[in-house]
Structure 1
Amino acid sequence: MAFFDPELCAELPAPARRWLCASLATGTPLARRVRITMTGSINLRAWRPFRAEQLIVPGHGFIWAARTRVGGLPVSGFDRFTGTEGEMRWKMAGLIRRHHDPDALGRTMGRTLRCREFGVLPRRRRAC
């Protein structure tokens, strides 16, 4: 198990560093993973209500899965980044592939997820 040490925040932007150091006591056990459930609105040519769940595992990646409706039809899918690969896969009515690009998310998230600025404390220091 990893524990919080202010040194882990040394390379973070100042606002993130101040917030984390003020919020966590030295020696606080760090979560190995976080599961977040959310609801809100997503813009798919118009704002629509959605429900989603995200699993974040520092040092390994994340998956964000969501559901909404467009024109009365269900739309569901996920964005994921694990290891060094990203993928976006979305379907309408469970049949019509709306978007599938196994490289798109990797191109945009790969560097971000590996950087300390992502906001999740890494297990060990890594260069961006």
Structure 2
Amino acid sequence: MILIWVMGCTCICLAGLIGWRQFDHHVDRVEMERLLATQPADPAHFDADIVADLPEPARRFFTFAISEGTPLYTVANLEMAGQFGMGDTGAPGYIPMVATQVLAAPHGFVWTMSAGNGAMRMAGSDSASWTRFWLFGLVPVARFGGDRDHTRSAFGRYVAEAVFWTPAAVLPGPNVTWEAVSGNTARMTMRHAGLEQAVDVTVAENGQPLYVAFQRWSDANPEKVHRLQPFGGYLSEFRDFGGFRLPTHVEAGNHFETETYFPFFIADVSEITFPQIDP
């Protein structure tokens, strides 16, 4: 009798966890659909005159990243594989990962990831509103978000990624400004829904972005206290995707350009598409 009771409780718990996990998948899909719907239906096409008044390094960046006549789509789907660091500089603890992402600055992003192998197999998603990961697809191991700290930190991430993966989203406009930092570095500032994030992009002579750096709101520190601290990443292996010249290899992490820099995110992008919606 006790065995039957235990088995019954176990089945109920498993069913509850499976249902919970499926609900997470549903929320992921709903948010992705919302973000995809922000894609401009009939975008303008790139012309160098759009950036003619920008600081020289910003102008070089845009004329490298966007070919003349390219439709200025601002929402992208990405597919990637690589390594995700679970440790720190001394013991990185890299595990293999594959991921997809919808990137739609300034409105948000959804990054869905599966990583590890064997006993360390985990999967989940990250977005402007949540971070949640599961072990074996059944055991919740990380669930947080829904507060101002998470929203501000996530905004820093996807605004920085927009600079190099969806450059049309950071063209100058009412909520995006550019200023010169040096002869090869320009600072983009994006404002949205009460949030503001500045990102510095350093470019080569031909305008190819070499790395991005910014102050990110984060608790990735020994004190586990949210504060502004350096974050950034190196960009390489550029390819053309529908008129956009974008990096397919990115290494990024906390405490960028300091002795404690840890590139916990190492990704090789296999595909970037710009889904179109009917006018």
Q: TM-score, normalised by structure 1?
A: 0.72
Q: Which residue of 2 aligns with 1:97?
A: 140
Q: Aligned partner of 1:30: which letter?
A: L
Which residues in structure 2 correspond to 1:66-105 (within 5 Å)?
A: 66-69=113-116, 71-81=118-128, 86-102=129-145, 103=147, 104-105=149-150
Residues 112 and 42 of structure 1, relative CA distance in 2, 3 Å threshold: closer
Q: Does 1:18 align with 2:60?
A: yes
C-alpha displacement at 1:21, in angstroms? Answer: 1.5
Q: Higher helix proportion, which one?
A: 2
Whether the 8 Å CA contact 2:102–2:111 is kept in 1: the answer is yes
Larger Rg: 1 or 2? Answer: 2
- Look up the SS of the partner of 1:28 in the other structure: coil
Whether the 8 Å CA contact 2:109–2:158 is kept in 1: the answer is no
Q: Which residue of 2 aligns with 1:125?
A: 174
Q: Deviations over 1:22-58 (max 9, x none)?
A: 3424442112421111111111231111101111123
Q: Which residue of 2 aligns with 1:33?
A: 75
- Cα-Cα RMSD: 3.1
* Match among 155, 169, 172 for residue 110 of structure 1: 155
Matches of 2:153 and 2:56, distance apart in 1: 20
Q: Aligned partner of 1:109: which letter?
A: A
Amino-acid identity (%):
22
Whether the 8 Å CA contact 2:80–2:100 is kept in 1: the answer is yes
Matches of 2:52 and 2:94, distance apart in 1: 37
Residues 12 and 49 of structure 1, relative CA distance in 2, 3 Å threshold: farther
Q: Aligned partner of 2:106: which letter?
A: G
Residues 107 and 60 of structure 1, relative CA distance in 2, 3 Å threshold: closer
Matches of 1:42 and 1:112, distance apart in 2: 16
- Look up the SS of the partner of 2:113 in the other structure: strand
Q: Aligned partner of 1:106: which letter?
A: T
In structure 2, the gaps of 5 or more residues are 1-41, 88-92, 176-190, 197-279
Residues 9 and 91 of structure 1, relative CA distance in 2, 3 Å threshold: farther
**Aligned length, in residue pairs:** 122
